[in-house]
Amino acid sequence: MTHLNNAGASMSPAPVVDAVVSHLRREAAIGGYEAHAEAGAVIEAVYASLARLINAQPDEIALVENATRAWDMAFYSIDFKPGDKILTSRSEYASNAIAILQVVRKQGAVVEVVPDGPDGALSTSALESMIDDRVRLIAVNHVPSQNGLVNPAAQVGAIAREAGVLFLLDACQSVGQLPVDVAEIGCHLLSATGRKFLRGPRGTGFLYVDRTVLEHLDPPFLDDHAAVWTAPDAYRMRPDARRFETWEASYAARIGLGVAVEYALDVGLEAIAARNALLSTRLRAGLASIPGVHVHDRGSVKSAITTFTVDGTQPVEVRERLATAKINVSVTTSATAMYDMPGRGLEAVVRASPHYYNTETEIDALLTCVQDIRKTPAV
Ligand SMILES: Cc1ncc(COP(=O)(O)O)c(C=O)c1O
């Protein structure tokens, strides 16, 4: 099996799987709450690991189920007024765009999409020119799902800080594949998932909230973990980012996430990024050299995500043909990226996303298979 679908869900290393399974076994042996209490220090350490990963403080981290829920908890905490502007990227992911459109519909906010620059990544000069006193939020992604570029997050952060505007960064596809440093980027809020390039379990995600903005954010849902019921008619929210969490969660998965973060830190994010660049450069160059194969990645800085189409064979069919050869890739459709893909004339692309543990031989196996598809296209 060659797994080149790390942008979908990566494969967890053995220590992650072992940690999850062993916590589940403890739950079965001594009881769920009792296993939770027993693993209290380990669960607490997950916050410290994530904080170390992104250069934040443990009290600025909330553990949630996925990147969308992390992003939503931040976004829906903002009290948008009619006419408030939300600036977003062309490469924005569907779930974020849908939430923005809901707030536009229900609260009268206005969304403006920042154009791309000549290289295809978000144009920071366009962003700068769109800032005015109605802008309430800049919500952009770091690495899009459907395009192998890296947006200039730190330049966006500098513009946001200068303008005094909240900056929410969707780092779902970047955390775990690149060094991500919230102090360097200057985002106030960052959402990410566990299952992709971090190699954590499914059903895990996290939100970073800069301490300085926490008090201005009123979460859309509160429970008795996020707040304390202090009197029959009163409650007090937690003073840390855990006000965005729920009390009930898969603690086995959270423990697994912590192990995945430590694993990534041990391998080293710089080393991971360098290896990913090597593998994806080999992949893109190989694909581009096959007549009738088109690579669609833009941006002057590239991620590991590699998108392409094959003349004469639909992306879904390419994925199936690769699956027959035991090579996992995915297909991304324009429904996930309506600000981006239709404008580039793309309805669907094949997405191959290597990660550092993949080998050059696996990349070459995909290239050979795509060559075969070109020789015998689907009818
Ligand atoms: C850029 C981006 N943002 C957000 C998400 C949503 O992540 P999740 O499925 O963990 O909610 C994805 C998922 O593919 C993504 O690629």
What's the token pair of residue 252? Answer: 């086995």
Distance 59 CA to ligand 1 centre (A): 24
What pLDDT is attached to residue 377?
Answer: 76
Give the residue, by CA position, lying nearest to ligand 1 atom 16.
Answer: 145
Distance 68 CA to ligand 1 centre (A): 6
How many C-alpha atoms does 164 have within 13 Å on its Cβ side? 3
Mean pLDDT of the chain: 97
- Does the C-beta of 151 come closer than 6 Å to ligand 1? no
- Does the C-beta of 353 come closer than 6 Å to ligand 1? no
Mean pLDDT of all residues in 120-134 = 98
Distance 192 CA to ligand 1 centre (A): 8
- Does the C-beta of 251 come closer than 6 Å to ligand 1? no
Mean pLDDT of all residues in 363-372 = 98
Tell me if 354 sits within 8 A of 279, measured CB to CB: yes
| Dist. CA 261–CA 291, nearest whole Å | 40
Of 16, 11, 59, nearest to 258 (Cα)?
Answer: 16
pLDDT higher than threshold 60 for residue 379: no
Mean pLDDT of all residues in 205-222 = 97
- Does the C-beta of 171 come closer than 6 Å to ligand 1? no
- Does the C-beta of 170 come closer than 6 Å to ligand 1? yes
pLDDT higher than threshold 70 for residue 378: no
Candidate from 172, 175, 191, 353 with most ligand 1 atoms within 8 A of CB, to mutate: 172
pLDDT higher than threshold 90 for residue 304: yes
Give the residue, by CA position, lying nearest to ligand 1 atom 7.
Answer: 67
Candidate from 64, 69, 72, 145 with most ligand 1 atoms within 8 A of CB, to mutate: 145
- Does the C-beta of 6 come closer than 6 Å to ligand 1? no
Tell me if 31 sits within 8 A of 354, measured CB to CB: no
| Dist. CA 140–CA 362, nearest whole Å | 33
Percent of the chain beyond pLDDT 90?
99
Distance 58 CA to ligand 1 centre (A): 23
What's the token pair of residue 310? Answer: 């094959």
Mean pLDDT of all residues in 303-320 = 98
Closest atom of ligand 1 relative to the 91 alpha carbon? 1
What pLDDT is attached to residue 94?
Answer: 98
pLDDT in tens, 143-166: 999 999 999 999 999 999 999 999
pLDDT higher than threshold 70 for residue 318: yes
Residues 6+ apart with CB under 8 A from 133: none
CA Rg, the chain, in Å? 21
What's the token pair of residue 30? Answer: 């001594």
Confidence of residue 210 (pLDDT cuts 50, 70, 90): very high
What pLDDT is attached to residue 63?
Answer: 98
pLDDT higher than threshold 90 for residue 336: yes
Chain centroid to CA 175: how far?
7
Mean pLDDT of all residues in 10-24 = 98
Closest atom of ligand 1 relative to the 142 alpha carbon? 1
Mean pLDDT of all residues in 223-244 = 98
Q: Where are the beta strands (DSSP E) in 157-263?
A: 166-170, 189-193, 205-209, 227-231, 234-237
- CA 363 vs CA 4, 100, 176, 278, 279: distances in Å: 8, 38, 20, 11, 7
- Does the C-beta of 146 come closer than 6 Å to ligand 1? no
Of 260, 256, 247, nearest to 33 (Cα)?
Answer: 247
Distance 335 CA to ligand 1 centre (A): 13
Give the residue, by CA position, lying nearest to ligand 1 atom 8.
Answer: 67
Distance 67 CA to ligand 1 centre (A): 6
Distance 140 CA to ligand 1 centre (A): 13
Percent of the chain beyond pLDDT 70?
99
| Dist. CA 98–CA 96, nearest whole Å | 5
Candidate from 168, 193, 305, 330 with most ligand 1 atoms within 8 A of CB, to mutate: 193
pLDDT in tens, 39-75: 999 999 999 999 999 999 999 999 999 999 999 999 9
Of 89, 106, 42, nearest to 255 (Cα)?
Answer: 42
